[in-house]
Amino acid sequence: MKLVKSLLLGSAAGLTIVGGAQAADLPVKKAAPIEYVRVCTAYGAGFFYIPGTDTCLRVSGRARAEYGYIGSDNRRVTGGGDLSGFVGLARFAFDARTQTGYGTLRAFLRLDAASRTGHTKTSSGTNLRGGYAFSGTGQDAFGRIQNFINVDKAFIQFAGLTAGRASSFYDFYAADYEIIGSSLGSNMPSTNLLAYTQKFGDGFTATISMEDPNYRKNPLFTNAVPAAGAAAGTGALSTVLTTAPTPIILGTDALGNATSVAFIDAVQRSRLPDFVGSLRYDAPWGSAQLSAAVREINVGGFISSVGVPGGSAANAQALLAARGLGDGVQTEYGWAVQGGVKFNLPFIAPGDGIYLQGSYGEGTSFYTGINRFTAGYLANASVYAGNPFNQYLADAVVNPLSGRIELSSSFTAVASYL
């Protein structure tokens, strides 16, 4: 047995020596360097360097699930809706920053996606009217399924410039202390804009911004015919049509009945951006801001006429011109002003604060936020069931007697304490 053990140990030693000699004869290759992800501390927590670049990136997001049940006394006697509904929401955010010789170059992107099913209370009419929601049309799904993709933010900032989809520079409070943003105030989550911000003094900034008018447009209230074959007098238009013939009474009989009428196009065209300016101050005690906005409101020209003497378009246009309407084309300018202040109140409790804000405007219901009571993009709405009168939230009215655009006036006030 001792002889066997000695032979085995000797054989193992020999194999080890031979193996070592063969390995020493092979060329040695260096391992490829590994570039580890480095933490970037220049812009706060969560940033890291994109490998091979000087760009710092932060990736974040969230998922949210909801279930709702709404009781009903209907019992389907008159075809009641669903009682149960689900909501699944996702958010993705990317914040990239690169330091240059002219300051920080920043690109920010935030996408929201959601799927809503079931009862109508989970379906968002505002998302539909805002243009980033669509309904499912599968079997027995119409009205029960809604999906939306929202480019909530997508902007570039560099050397004082902000370009892309971002929060309006008119806004101040913007539902900062709320979950569902129900208080009155402009609170437009995002719009498309091109702005320049200048810093001066200690904590002061001034901004001038060109902003997309379509996200803050509540259509004119008119008696326009909404579609071929539909009756006139249907009230405020909530859809953009190719044309919206609205009547202007040019003549009446002894009883006041219309004898001649001209029709003009009441669809507002996007011809100019909204112009916004703001002056802001930030300090340890809080913030303050003054902002103003100007926007164009317009109607189109002559379309047709009924009962005009001579029966010609030229005669109808001449009657419009006699009222100073040219061929019916009009332009008015709505405006809004806003002031707000925020006080930090850490002496009550850490994180406490209070906002005070007021806004007034003419032809600018989305800037003052008066339509926040019933959500945006509604020109005619009621706050509660059985309300004896309707609220008309359109920016302006085309008066059928004078043919003039008459701007609506609105104001709001906000006080919010956290």
pLDDT tens digits for the chain (418 residues)? 555 555 444 554 444 444 444 555 666 677 666 667 899 999 999 999 999 899 999 999 999 998 988 776 555 556 666 788 898 999 999 999 999 999 999 999 999 999 988 875 566 777 777 778 888 888 777 778 888 899 999 999 999 999 999 999 999 999 899 876 677 888 788 999 999 999 998 999 999 999 999 888 877 777 765 544 444 444 444 445 567 788 888 888 887 787 888 888 888 888 999 999 999 999 999 999 999 999 999 988 888 888 888 778 888 888 888 888 888 889 999 999 999 999 999 999 999 999 999 999 999 999 998 877 666 666 666 655 666 666 778 889 889 888 899 999 999 999 999 9
Cα–Cα distance, 178 to 188 (Å, whole number): 14
Residue 22's φ and ψ, nearest 5 degrees, are -65, -40
The per-residue DSSP string of 323-380 comes to TT-TTS-EEEEEEEEEEEEEEE-TTTSTT-EEEEEEEEEES-HHHHTGGGGG-SS-SE
Is 284 buried (19+), middle (13-18) or exposed (0-12) by CB count in 10 A?
exposed
Cα–Cα distance, 173 to 339 (Å, whole number): 10
Which pair of tokens denotes residue 348?
A: 């009550």
Helix (H) or strand (E) holding 14: helix 2-24
Query: Left (φ > 0), alpha (ψ -120 to 50) or beta: where does 375 sit?
Result: left
pTM of the model: 0.82
Q: What is the DSSP letter of 32?
A: P
Quick check: 168 and 212 in contact, CB under 8 A?
Answer: no
Q: String of b and e for 350-362 (b: at least 16 CB within 10 Å)?
A: eeebbbbbbbbbb
Taking CA 139 as the corner, what is the angle to CA 138 and CA 144, rounded to the nearest 5 degrees?
70
Cα–Cα distance, 319 to 33 (Å, whole number): 83
Domain residue ranges of the chain, discontinuous segments joined by +: 48-154, 160-417
SS3 36: coil
